[in-house]
Protein backbone atom coordinates (compact mmCIF):
# COMPACT_ATOMS: atom_id res chain seq x y z
CA UNK A 1 0.00 0.00 0.00
CA UNK A 2 1.45 3.41 -0.98
CA UNK A 3 2.07 6.18 1.52
CA UNK A 4 -0.31 8.48 -0.36
CA UNK A 5 -3.11 5.88 -0.20
CA UNK A 6 -2.52 5.37 3.54
CA UNK A 7 -2.73 9.11 4.10
CA UNK A 8 -5.94 9.31 2.06
CA UNK A 9 -7.58 6.60 4.18
CA UNK A 10 -6.56 8.34 7.39
CA UNK A 11 -8.06 11.59 6.13
CA UNK A 12 -11.28 9.69 5.37
CA UNK A 13 -11.30 8.26 8.93
CA UNK A 14 -10.89 11.77 10.32
CA UNK A 15 -13.96 12.88 8.35
CA UNK A 16 -15.97 9.91 9.65
CA UNK A 17 -15.00 10.75 13.22
CA UNK A 18 -16.65 14.15 12.72
CA UNK A 19 -13.60 16.20 13.63
CA UNK A 20 -14.41 19.91 13.51
CA UNK A 21 -13.12 22.18 10.77
CA UNK A 22 -10.96 24.05 13.26
CA UNK A 23 -9.38 20.81 14.43
CA UNK A 24 -8.71 19.63 10.89
CA UNK A 25 -7.11 22.98 10.10
CA UNK A 26 -4.74 22.48 13.04
CA UNK A 27 -3.55 19.04 11.86
CA UNK A 28 0.09 19.07 10.82
CA UNK A 29 1.49 17.67 7.55
CA UNK A 30 2.91 14.22 8.10
CA UNK A 31 4.21 12.92 4.79
CA UNK A 32 6.27 14.03 1.84
CA UNK A 33 3.15 14.58 -0.27
CA UNK A 34 1.81 17.17 2.15
CA UNK A 35 -1.32 15.15 3.02
CA UNK A 36 -2.48 15.91 6.59
CA UNK A 37 -2.80 13.00 9.02
CA UNK A 38 -5.47 13.08 11.74
CA UNK A 39 -4.32 13.60 15.32
CA UNK A 40 -5.98 14.08 18.70
CA UNK A 41 -3.05 16.23 19.86
CA UNK A 42 -4.69 19.65 19.19
CA UNK A 43 -7.75 18.65 21.23
CA UNK A 44 -5.64 17.15 24.03
CA UNK A 45 -3.61 20.34 24.29
CA UNK A 46 -6.82 21.94 25.53
CA UNK A 47 -7.86 19.01 27.75
CA UNK A 48 -4.75 17.84 29.61
CA UNK A 49 -4.15 21.08 31.60
CA UNK A 50 -7.56 20.53 33.24
CA UNK A 51 -6.75 16.97 34.42
CA UNK A 52 -4.88 16.83 37.72
CA UNK A 53 -3.25 14.26 39.98
CA UNK A 54 -4.71 13.93 43.48
CA UNK A 55 -2.67 12.72 46.43
CA UNK A 56 -4.43 12.05 49.74
CA UNK A 57 -3.08 11.02 53.13
CA UNK A 58 -4.87 9.42 56.04
CA UNK A 59 -3.21 9.10 59.45
CA UNK A 60 -4.22 5.92 61.25
CA UNK A 61 -3.47 5.40 64.92
CA UNK A 62 -2.21 1.94 65.81
CA UNK A 63 -2.80 0.34 69.18
CA UNK A 64 -0.12 -1.95 70.59
CA UNK A 65 -1.72 -4.20 73.25
CA UNK A 66 1.61 -4.35 75.13
CA UNK A 67 1.60 -0.58 75.53
CA UNK A 68 -1.32 -0.76 77.99
CA UNK A 69 0.90 -2.40 80.63
CA UNK A 70 3.57 -0.03 82.07
CA UNK A 71 5.89 -2.96 82.99
CA UNK A 72 5.72 -4.52 79.50
CA UNK A 73 6.13 -1.09 77.94
CA UNK A 74 9.39 -0.53 79.85
CA UNK A 75 10.57 -4.12 79.34
CA UNK A 76 10.15 -4.07 75.57
CA UNK A 77 11.17 -0.43 75.18
CA UNK A 78 7.83 0.60 73.70
CA UNK A 79 7.60 4.41 73.52
CA UNK A 80 4.87 5.96 75.61
CA UNK A 81 3.37 7.61 72.55
CA UNK A 82 0.62 6.53 70.19
CA UNK A 83 1.97 4.91 67.04
CA UNK A 84 0.75 6.14 63.69
CA UNK A 85 0.64 4.80 60.18
CA UNK A 86 0.15 7.03 57.15
CA UNK A 87 -2.06 5.62 54.41
CA UNK A 88 -1.63 7.26 51.02
CA UNK A 89 -3.83 7.20 47.95
CA UNK A 90 -3.25 8.35 44.38
CA UNK A 91 -5.91 9.28 41.89
CA UNK A 92 -6.98 11.86 39.35
CA UNK A 93 -9.36 14.79 39.14
CA UNK A 94 -10.86 17.24 36.64
CA UNK A 95 -11.01 21.03 36.97
CA UNK A 96 -14.56 22.07 36.05
CA UNK A 97 -14.55 25.68 37.30
CA UNK A 98 -11.28 27.59 36.85
CA UNK A 99 -12.46 30.77 38.57
CA UNK A 100 -13.61 28.98 41.74
CA UNK A 101 -10.93 26.25 41.58
CA UNK A 102 -13.46 23.40 41.69
CA UNK A 103 -12.16 19.90 40.96
CA UNK A 104 -14.34 16.81 40.51
CA UNK A 105 -12.97 13.42 41.51
CA UNK A 106 -14.12 10.11 43.00
CA UNK A 107 -15.17 9.77 46.61
CA UNK A 108 -13.01 6.68 47.00
CA UNK A 109 -9.93 8.72 46.02
CA UNK A 110 -10.26 11.10 48.99
CA UNK A 111 -12.45 9.14 51.42
CA UNK A 112 -11.23 9.49 55.01
CA UNK A 113 -8.31 11.70 53.97
CA UNK A 114 -6.72 14.06 56.51
CA UNK A 115 -4.74 15.87 53.83
CA UNK A 116 -5.47 16.33 50.10
CA UNK A 117 -3.09 17.83 47.57
CA UNK A 118 -3.53 18.46 43.86
CA UNK A 119 -0.72 18.47 41.30
CA UNK A 120 -1.47 20.40 38.13
CA UNK A 121 -0.27 19.47 34.66
CA UNK A 122 2.26 22.34 34.83
CA UNK A 123 3.88 20.82 37.93
CA UNK A 124 2.40 23.05 40.63
CA UNK A 125 1.25 21.23 43.79
CA UNK A 126 -1.60 22.84 45.75
CA UNK A 127 -3.34 22.10 49.03
CA UNK A 128 -6.98 21.19 48.45
CA UNK A 129 -10.09 21.71 50.56
CA UNK A 130 -12.85 19.11 50.55
CA UNK A 131 -16.14 20.78 49.60
CA UNK A 132 -18.20 17.63 49.96
CA UNK A 133 -18.63 14.07 48.77
CA UNK A 134 -21.36 11.58 47.94
CA UNK A 135 -20.33 7.96 48.58
CA UNK A 136 -23.50 6.63 46.94
CA UNK A 137 -22.51 7.99 43.51
CA UNK A 138 -18.74 7.96 44.23
CA UNK A 139 -18.44 11.68 43.42
CA UNK A 140 -16.40 14.18 45.45
CA UNK A 141 -15.69 17.88 45.01
CA UNK A 142 -12.53 19.64 46.19
CA UNK A 143 -11.40 23.26 45.86
CA UNK A 144 -7.94 24.71 45.17
CA UNK A 145 -6.78 28.32 45.06
CA UNK A 146 -4.52 29.21 42.14
CA UNK A 147 -4.20 31.45 39.10
CA UNK A 148 -4.19 30.38 35.47
CA UNK A 149 -6.30 27.26 35.89
CA UNK A 150 -7.88 25.51 32.90
CA UNK A 151 -11.37 23.98 33.15
CA UNK A 152 -13.20 21.50 30.95
CA UNK A 153 -16.70 22.25 29.65
CA UNK A 154 -19.29 19.62 30.57
CA UNK A 155 -21.01 17.88 27.67
CA UNK A 156 -24.72 17.14 27.31
CA UNK A 157 -24.56 13.39 27.96
CA UNK A 158 -28.13 12.90 26.75
CA UNK A 159 -26.70 13.18 23.24
CA UNK A 160 -24.09 10.48 23.89
CA UNK A 161 -24.46 7.33 21.79
CA UNK A 162 -22.97 3.85 21.85
CA UNK A 163 -20.11 3.89 19.37
CA UNK A 164 -19.03 7.49 20.01
CA UNK A 165 -15.26 7.88 20.22
CA UNK A 166 -13.89 8.86 23.64
CA UNK A 167 -10.53 9.59 25.27
CA UNK A 168 -9.60 8.86 28.90
CA UNK A 169 -7.03 11.04 30.68
CA UNK A 170 -5.65 10.24 34.12
CA UNK A 171 -2.75 9.09 36.27
CA UNK A 172 -2.67 5.26 36.08
CA UNK A 173 -0.42 3.52 38.63
CA UNK A 174 1.08 6.91 39.53
CA UNK A 175 3.03 6.99 36.27
CA UNK A 176 1.94 10.53 35.40
CA UNK A 177 -0.60 11.89 32.99
CA UNK A 178 -1.61 9.26 30.44
CA UNK A 179 -4.05 9.31 27.52
CA UNK A 180 -5.96 6.31 26.14
CA UNK A 181 -8.75 6.11 23.58
CA UNK A 182 -11.73 3.93 22.76
CA UNK A 183 -15.47 4.11 22.22
CA UNK A 184 -18.63 4.20 24.29
CA UNK A 185 -19.41 0.50 24.74
CA UNK A 186 -22.75 0.88 26.56
CA UNK A 187 -24.89 3.41 28.40
CA UNK A 188 -26.93 3.24 31.59
CA UNK A 189 -24.94 0.41 33.14
CA UNK A 190 -25.90 -0.55 36.69
CA UNK A 191 -25.90 -3.60 38.92
CA UNK A 192 -22.22 -3.37 39.91
CA UNK A 193 -21.95 -4.59 43.49
CA UNK A 194 -20.93 -2.11 46.15
CA UNK A 195 -21.12 1.03 44.00
CA UNK A 196 -24.35 2.64 45.24
CA UNK A 197 -26.54 4.53 42.75
CA UNK A 198 -25.39 3.71 39.24
CA UNK A 199 -25.89 5.00 35.71
CA UNK A 200 -22.47 4.35 34.23
CA UNK A 201 -20.99 4.95 30.80
CA UNK A 202 -19.11 1.80 29.80
CA UNK A 203 -16.00 2.23 27.65
CA UNK A 204 -13.13 0.15 26.30
CA UNK A 205 -10.67 3.05 26.69
CA UNK A 206 -8.00 1.72 29.07
CA UNK A 207 -8.79 2.65 32.67
CA UNK A 208 -6.45 1.37 35.38
CA UNK A 209 -5.88 2.02 39.11
CA UNK A 210 -4.96 5.69 39.45
CA UNK A 211 -7.26 6.71 36.60
CA UNK A 212 -10.08 7.05 39.14
CA UNK A 213 -11.45 10.58 39.11
CA UNK A 214 -9.91 11.38 35.73
CA UNK A 215 -11.62 12.66 32.61
CA UNK A 216 -13.49 10.84 29.89
CA UNK A 217 -13.88 13.32 27.02
CA UNK A 218 -15.38 13.37 23.54
CA UNK A 219 -13.52 14.45 20.42
CA UNK A 220 -14.57 18.06 21.03
CA UNK A 221 -12.68 18.03 24.32
CA UNK A 222 -15.85 18.16 26.43
CA UNK A 223 -16.13 16.23 29.67
CA UNK A 224 -18.62 13.39 29.30
CA UNK A 225 -17.70 11.37 32.39
CA UNK A 226 -15.57 10.90 35.50
CA UNK A 227 -13.65 7.62 35.31
CA UNK A 228 -14.66 5.55 38.29
CA UNK A 229 -14.29 1.77 38.08
CA UNK A 230 -13.17 -1.19 36.06
CA UNK A 231 -14.47 -4.72 35.76
CA UNK A 232 -11.54 -7.10 35.94
CA UNK A 233 -11.02 -10.52 37.52
CA UNK A 234 -7.27 -9.84 37.62
CA UNK A 235 -7.35 -6.20 38.78
CA UNK A 236 -5.94 -4.88 35.50
CA UNK A 237 -7.62 -3.41 32.44
CA UNK A 238 -9.49 -5.85 30.18
CA UNK A 239 -11.41 -3.26 28.20
CA UNK A 240 -14.40 -2.84 30.53
CA UNK A 241 -14.28 0.50 32.29
CA UNK A 242 -17.00 2.67 33.81
CA UNK A 243 -17.41 6.43 34.08
CA UNK A 244 -19.95 8.56 35.95
CA UNK A 245 -21.88 10.67 33.41
CA UNK A 246 -21.04 14.39 33.47
CA UNK A 247 -24.74 15.24 33.87
CA UNK A 248 -24.91 13.19 37.08
CA UNK A 249 -21.63 14.65 38.37
CA UNK A 250 -22.96 18.17 37.61
CA UNK A 251 -26.11 17.56 39.69
CA UNK A 252 -24.08 16.12 42.60
CA UNK A 253 -21.74 19.12 42.43
CA UNK A 254 -24.69 21.53 42.44
CA UNK A 255 -26.13 19.96 45.58
CA UNK A 256 -22.77 19.75 47.36
CA UNK A 257 -22.23 23.46 46.75
CA UNK A 258 -25.80 24.37 47.76
CA UNK A 259 -26.38 22.06 50.73
CA UNK A 260 -23.09 20.37 51.57
CA UNK A 261 -24.77 17.04 50.91
CA UNK A 262 -26.86 15.24 48.29
CA UNK A 263 -30.59 15.04 48.83
CA UNK A 264 -32.12 11.90 47.33
CA UNK A 265 -35.55 11.91 45.77
CA UNK A 266 -38.34 9.48 46.53
CA UNK A 267 -41.71 8.71 44.93
CA UNK A 268 -43.00 7.22 48.15
CA UNK A 269 -43.89 3.75 46.92
CA UNK A 270 -42.99 0.25 47.98
CA UNK A 271 -42.54 -1.93 44.91
CA UNK A 272 -41.77 -5.55 44.13
CA UNK A 273 -40.35 -7.50 41.21
CA UNK A 274 -42.71 -9.08 38.71
CA UNK A 275 -42.72 -12.88 38.87
CA UNK A 276 -43.97 -15.04 35.98
CA UNK A 277 -47.14 -15.69 37.98
CA UNK A 278 -47.76 -11.95 38.48
CA UNK A 279 -47.01 -11.26 34.82
CA UNK A 280 -49.65 -13.78 33.81
CA UNK A 281 -52.21 -12.42 36.26
CA UNK A 282 -51.60 -8.83 35.13
CA UNK A 283 -51.53 -9.71 31.41
CA UNK A 284 -48.08 -8.19 30.94
CA UNK A 285 -47.01 -10.44 28.08
CA UNK A 286 -44.13 -12.85 27.60
CA UNK A 287 -41.32 -10.44 28.50
CA UNK A 288 -42.63 -8.37 31.40
CA UNK A 289 -40.63 -5.51 32.84
CA UNK A 290 -41.29 -2.92 35.48
CA UNK A 291 -41.85 -2.65 39.23
CA UNK A 292 -45.22 -3.59 40.72
CA UNK A 293 -46.51 -1.01 43.22
CA UNK A 294 -47.37 -2.80 46.46
CA UNK A 295 -47.96 0.30 48.61
CA UNK A 296 -48.32 4.06 48.09
CA UNK A 297 -47.38 6.20 51.08
CA UNK A 298 -49.92 8.77 52.21
CA UNK A 299 -49.04 12.30 51.10
CA UNK A 300 -46.25 11.06 48.85
CA UNK A 301 -45.43 12.37 45.35
CA UNK A 302 -46.75 9.08 43.95
CA UNK A 303 -50.13 9.51 45.65
CA UNK A 304 -50.37 13.12 44.45
CA UNK A 305 -49.56 11.96 40.90
CA UNK A 306 -52.29 9.32 40.98
CA UNK A 307 -50.18 6.16 41.25
CA UNK A 308 -52.21 3.24 42.60
CA UNK A 309 -51.46 -0.08 44.21
CA UNK A 310 -51.29 -2.65 41.39
CA UNK A 311 -49.79 -0.23 38.87
CA UNK A 312 -46.62 -1.37 37.12
CA UNK A 313 -44.05 1.43 36.85
CA UNK A 314 -42.23 0.99 33.55
CA UNK A 315 -40.48 4.33 33.05
CA UNK A 316 -39.18 7.38 34.92
CA UNK A 317 -38.41 10.32 32.65
CA UNK A 318 -36.53 8.76 29.70
CA UNK A 319 -35.18 5.76 31.63
CA UNK A 320 -36.71 2.29 31.47
CA UNK A 321 -37.63 0.62 34.77
CA UNK A 322 -36.92 -3.09 34.47
CA UNK A 323 -37.38 -4.14 38.09
CA UNK A 324 -37.63 -2.92 41.70
CA UNK A 325 -33.88 -2.31 41.99
CA UNK A 326 -33.89 -0.17 38.84
CA UNK A 327 -36.77 1.92 40.22
CA UNK A 328 -34.87 2.57 43.44
CA UNK A 329 -31.69 3.42 41.51
CA UNK A 330 -33.35 5.80 39.05
CA UNK A 331 -35.47 7.72 41.55
CA UNK A 332 -32.38 8.25 43.71
CA UNK A 333 -30.54 9.86 40.78
CA UNK A 334 -33.31 12.18 39.59
CA UNK A 335 -33.29 15.78 40.89
CA UNK A 336 -35.47 16.68 43.85
CA UNK A 337 -38.18 19.31 43.35
CA UNK A 338 -38.44 19.06 39.57
CA UNK A 339 -41.39 17.55 37.66
CA UNK A 340 -40.78 14.08 36.24
CA UNK A 341 -42.84 11.79 34.02
CA UNK A 342 -43.89 8.37 35.29
CA UNK A 343 -44.81 5.69 32.79
CA UNK A 344 -47.17 3.09 34.26
CA UNK A 345 -49.11 0.08 33.06
CA UNK A 346 -52.58 -0.04 34.63
CA UNK A 347 -54.93 -2.89 33.79
CA UNK A 348 -52.88 -3.66 30.70
CA UNK A 349 -52.97 -0.08 29.38
CA UNK A 350 -50.01 2.35 29.30
CA UNK A 351 -50.44 5.67 31.10
CA UNK A 352 -48.32 8.75 31.72
CA UNK A 353 -48.38 10.58 35.07
CA UNK A 354 -46.44 13.54 36.43
CA UNK A 355 -44.88 13.90 39.88
CA UNK A 356 -42.42 16.10 41.75
CA UNK A 357 -39.93 14.09 43.82
CA UNK A 358 -39.56 14.90 47.50
CA UNK A 359 -36.29 14.55 49.37
CA UNK A 360 -35.96 11.38 51.38
CA UNK A 361 -35.58 11.94 55.11
CA UNK A 362 -32.00 11.39 56.25
CA UNK A 363 -33.04 10.40 59.73
CA UNK A 364 -36.15 9.74 61.82
CA UNK A 365 -36.44 10.37 65.56
CA UNK A 366 -37.81 7.37 67.42
CA UNK A 367 -40.01 9.53 69.63
CA UNK A 368 -41.88 10.68 66.50
CA UNK A 369 -42.60 7.05 65.61
CA UNK A 370 -43.57 5.58 68.97
CA UNK A 371 -42.94 6.67 72.60
CA UNK A 372 -41.29 3.31 73.24
CA UNK A 373 -38.54 4.28 70.76
CA UNK A 374 -37.77 7.63 72.44
CA UNK A 375 -34.05 8.42 72.46
CA UNK A 376 -33.25 6.46 69.30
CA UNK A 377 -32.65 7.87 65.82
CA UNK A 378 -32.95 5.77 62.68
CA UNK A 379 -31.20 6.18 59.31
CA UNK A 380 -31.23 4.46 55.94
CA UNK A 381 -28.80 1.64 55.25
CA UNK A 382 -25.90 3.06 53.18
CA UNK A 383 -26.64 2.48 49.50
CA UNK A 384 -23.47 0.45 48.94
CA UNK A 385 -24.61 -1.99 51.65
CA UNK A 386 -28.07 -2.09 50.09
CA UNK A 387 -26.51 -3.02 46.75
CA UNK A 388 -24.93 -5.98 48.55
CA UNK A 389 -28.31 -7.22 49.73
CA UNK A 390 -28.49 -5.62 53.20
CA UNK A 391 -32.05 -4.46 54.00
CA UNK A 392 -33.42 -2.60 56.98
CA UNK A 393 -32.76 0.64 58.87
CA UNK A 394 -29.82 1.48 61.11
CA UNK A 395 -29.99 2.84 64.65
CA UNK A 396 -27.81 5.89 64.08
CA UNK A 397 -27.88 7.36 67.60
CA UNK A 398 -28.97 6.39 71.11
CA UNK A 399 -29.32 8.84 73.99
CA UNK A 400 -27.87 7.65 77.28
CA UNK A 401 -30.54 6.71 79.78
CA UNK A 402 -33.30 6.89 77.18
CA UNK A 403 -36.29 4.57 76.94
CA UNK A 404 -34.92 3.04 73.73
CA UNK A 405 -31.61 2.27 75.45
CA UNK A 406 -33.35 0.69 78.42
CA UNK A 407 -35.28 -1.46 75.91
CA UNK A 408 -31.97 -2.81 74.62
CA UNK A 409 -31.38 -0.85 71.42
CA UNK A 410 -27.80 0.15 70.65
CA UNK A 411 -26.23 2.47 68.08
CA UNK A 412 -25.30 0.49 64.98
CA UNK A 413 -28.13 -2.06 65.34
CA UNK A 414 -29.77 -3.08 62.06
CA UNK A 415 -33.55 -3.28 62.42
CA UNK A 416 -34.98 -5.60 59.77
CA UNK A 417 -38.58 -6.31 60.91
CA UNK A 418 -41.37 -5.06 63.12
CA UNK A 419 -43.05 -8.27 64.17
CA UNK A 420 -43.07 -10.33 60.98
CA UNK A 421 -43.31 -7.35 58.66
CA UNK A 422 -40.14 -6.47 56.77
CA UNK A 423 -38.54 -3.01 56.91
CA UNK A 424 -36.53 -1.79 53.92
CA UNK A 425 -36.69 2.03 54.18
CA UNK A 426 -37.43 4.77 56.70
CA UNK A 427 -40.80 5.21 55.01
CA UNK A 428 -41.60 1.55 55.68
CA UNK A 429 -40.55 1.94 59.30
CA UNK A 430 -42.79 4.98 59.68
CA UNK A 431 -45.76 3.26 58.01
CA UNK A 432 -45.45 0.19 60.24
CA UNK A 433 -45.02 2.30 63.36
CA UNK A 434 -48.13 4.30 62.40
CA UNK A 435 -50.13 1.11 62.84
CA UNK A 436 -49.31 1.46 66.57
CA UNK A 437 -48.85 -2.25 67.29
CA UNK A 438 -49.67 -3.29 70.85
CA UNK A 439 -46.53 -5.43 70.99
CA UNK A 440 -43.67 -3.53 69.38
CA UNK A 441 -41.18 -6.31 68.68
CA UNK A 442 -38.11 -5.39 66.61
CA UNK A 443 -35.98 -8.00 64.88
CA UNK A 444 -32.42 -6.73 65.23
CA UNK A 445 -29.04 -7.74 63.86
CA UNK A 446 -26.01 -6.74 65.92
CA UNK A 447 -22.77 -7.80 64.29
CA UNK A 448 -23.25 -11.46 63.38
CA UNK A 449 -25.96 -12.06 65.95
CA UNK A 450 -29.69 -11.53 65.55
CA UNK A 451 -32.57 -11.48 67.96
CA UNK A 452 -35.87 -9.87 68.92
CA UNK A 453 -36.19 -6.86 71.23
CA UNK A 454 -39.62 -6.10 72.69
CA UNK A 455 -40.08 -2.37 73.26
CA UNK A 456 -41.78 -1.62 76.61
Residues belonging to the active site: 108, 138, 212
Q: Are 202 and 241 in contact (CB under 8 A)?
A: yes
Q: How is 11-64 classified by DSSP, letter by letter?
A: HHHHHHTT--HHHHHHPPB-STT--B---SHHHHHHHGGGEEEEEEEEEEEE--
How many helices (H) and strands (E) the chain has is answered by: 13, 28
Q: How is 63-88 classified by DSSP, letter by letter?
A: --GGGGSHHHHHHTT--SS-EEEEEE
Give which of 349, 132, 91 is closest to 260, Cα–Cα. 132
* CA–CA dist 155, 424 (Å, integer): 36
* CA–CA dist 45, 50 (Å, integer): 10
Burial of 94 (0-12, 13-18, 19+ CB in 10 A): buried
Residue 322 sits at the vertex; the CA angle it makes with 321 and 325, to the nearest 5 degrees, is 85
What number of residues does the chain have?
A: 456
* CA–CA dist 226, 224 (Å, integer): 7
Burial of 188 (0-12, 13-18, 19+ CB in 10 A): middle
Backbone angles phi, psi at 233, to 5 degrees: -65, -30
Give which of 101, 87, 108, 114 is closest to 52, Cα–Cα. 101
Count of Cβ atoms closer than 10 Å to residue 273 Cβ: 15
Amino acid sequence: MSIALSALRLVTIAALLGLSGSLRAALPSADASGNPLPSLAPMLEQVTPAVVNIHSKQVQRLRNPLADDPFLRRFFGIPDMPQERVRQSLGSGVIVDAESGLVLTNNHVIEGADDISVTLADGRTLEAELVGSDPDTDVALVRVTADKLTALPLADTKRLRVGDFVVAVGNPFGLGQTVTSGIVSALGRNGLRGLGYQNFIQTDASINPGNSGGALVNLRGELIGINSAIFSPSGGNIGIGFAIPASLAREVMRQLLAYGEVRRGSLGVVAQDITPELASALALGQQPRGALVARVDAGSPAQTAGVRVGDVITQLEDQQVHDRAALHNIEGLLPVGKPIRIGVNRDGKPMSLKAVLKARPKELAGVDLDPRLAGASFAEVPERMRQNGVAGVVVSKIENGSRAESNGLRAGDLVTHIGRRKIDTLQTLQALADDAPRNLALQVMRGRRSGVLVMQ
